[in-house]
Structure 1
Amino acid sequence: MALRNAATTVLLAGLVLLFGAPAASAHGGPIKLEVTGDGSHDINVLVTWKADGHPVRDIVDATLVATSTDGRSFGPVRLMSAPEGQNLYHSAQPLPNGKWRVTVTTTKPSKTHTTANVIARDIPAVPKAAEAAPVSDRGSPIGMSLKIGAVAVASAVGVVAWRRLVRRKRLDIRH
């Protein structure tokens, strides 16, 4: 029995080596494009196989064109593979400020197109830590003096209140 199982395993392994196993990434057919803005001026396009949603690892030949709500046109611009992922593509040029209707068209690995509305805008620069503090908190002598004075008054009030409580307790204990 063990000999028969070993022979069957060897035979199947030999057939797989002879004819080759089907490639795990063998895909084909239509692709799906998900087009979004990145919050600034870039366009992100995620490319997957429509049938199973797996990433398209083949070379994708794609371009985009866009029309703004005020009538301006942009493109055609080629999409470039992004370093963040195998099936993520970016526009080779930044989209100018505005509201845009973006159409991405592919010719490889299959022909398709998708249109999406995108807003392109400047993102405000993040201030450095020193710049983030309001002007009044930057250590002006008057502001610092007021803070020290307020802390001193609050401390004095606290000490006086504590002393009165202690004195009152002593009087209560004596009587």
Structure 2
Amino acid sequence: MRIRTLASAAVLAGAALLGGAGQAGAHGDTIVFKITALGDGHTRAAALWANDNDPVAEKVAATLSAVADDGRSVGPWKLEPVPDSPGTLTTALALPPGHWAVTVESGFPALGRGQADLTVTAVPGTAPSQGPGVEPGAPSTPPPSVNDTAAAPAASSSDADSSWTVVVVAAVVAMAAVAIAAALLRRRRAAG
């Protein structure tokens, strides 16, 4: 009787894990970005699943690059999550005033891309922040902690590891359920 209870628990756990993995895949495999700029030049990008426009709840590895009408270019700048706003990302640095063709691209949890033309105006009483990578034109004054010259980030190993962990745990639970079922079947045949 105890083995039957353990087998049932293992099967239910495996079904729950596999069911959750199936629901995550229901969003599709492509991300689209809706890009906007705040008045101070900070760019925001809403990461949405392409097939259902649901916000991407997972951590997103994405970068922003931009080219101004006058030839200046910035990026790639790493995008960071906006607290309390699922699927919304922003830049640590602000775009300088001007008209910008902005591109956002992601590599994790899925490939994604978005483009927008944005006009950034100077905010009275503030100087726009500019980072390295702002080419010809205004001088560069980055905050010391921002490294915006790095290439687009690869999926972090912890994010990739957690995805594989779910798959491995589900496979182990499924194999355990099969082994328990086989043991029960052998016991039943031996008793009968």
Counterparts in 2 of 1:1-175, with a 5 A limit? 17-21=12-16, 22-23=19-20, 26-27=24-25, 28-124=28-124
- Larger relative contact order (CA 8 Å, sep ≥ 6): 2
Q: Which secondary structure state, in structure 2, belongs to the residue aligned with residue 20 of structure 1?
A: helix
**Cα RMSD, aligned residues only:** 2.3
Secondary structure in structure 1 of the residue aligned to 2:24: coil
CA distance in 2, matches of 1:108, 1:18: 27
| Structure 2 alignment gaps of length 5 or more | 1-7, 126-192
Q: Is the 8 A contact 2:33 2:115 kept in 1?
A: no
Deviations 1:99-149 (Å, cap 9, x if unpaired)?
Answer: 101111111111222211011123347xxxxxxxxxxxxxxxxxxxxxxxx
In structure 2, distance between residues paired with 1:40 and 1:79 = 16
Aligned residues: 113
Q: Summarize deviations over 1:54-81 as a string: whole Å, max 9, x none.
A: 1111111111111111111111110011
| Cα distance in 2 for residues equivalent to 1:65 and 1:101 | 8
- 1:146-169 CA deviation, whole Å, 9 max, x = no partner? xxxxxxxxxxxxxxxxxxxxxxxx
Q: For 1:26, what is the secondary structure of its paired residue? A: helix
* TM-score, normalised with respect to structure 1: 0.57
User: Which deviations, in whole Å up to 9, do the C-alpha atoms of 1:16-37 show, x marking residues without a partner?
Assistant: 7344332285134111111111
1:172 aligns with none
Contact 2:29/2:111 (CA < 8 Å) preserved in 1?
A: no
CA separation in 2, counterparts of 1:14 and 1:80? 40
Identity %: 33
Pair member with larger Rg: 1
- The unaligned stretches of length 5 or more in structure 1 are 1-12, 126-175
Alpha carbons 1:39, 1:119 under 8 Å: kept: no
User: CA–CA distance in 2 between the matches of 1:109 and 1:26?
Assistant: 11
Distance 2:108 2:93 in 1: 21
| Deviation >4 Å, runs of 4+ | 13-16
Q: In structure 1, the residue corresponding to 2:33 is in which secondary structure?
A: strand
- Between the aligned partners of 1:19 and 1:71, the Cα distance in structure 2 is 55
* Cα 1:56/1:40, change in 2 over 3 Å: same
Amino acid at match of 1:26: A
TM-score when scaled to structure 2? 0.53
- Quick one: structure 1 residues 19 and 115, their matched pair in 2 at CA, closer, same or farther if it must change by over 3 Å? same
Quote the Cα distance in structure 1 between the aligned partners of 2:56 and 2:76.
Answer: 22
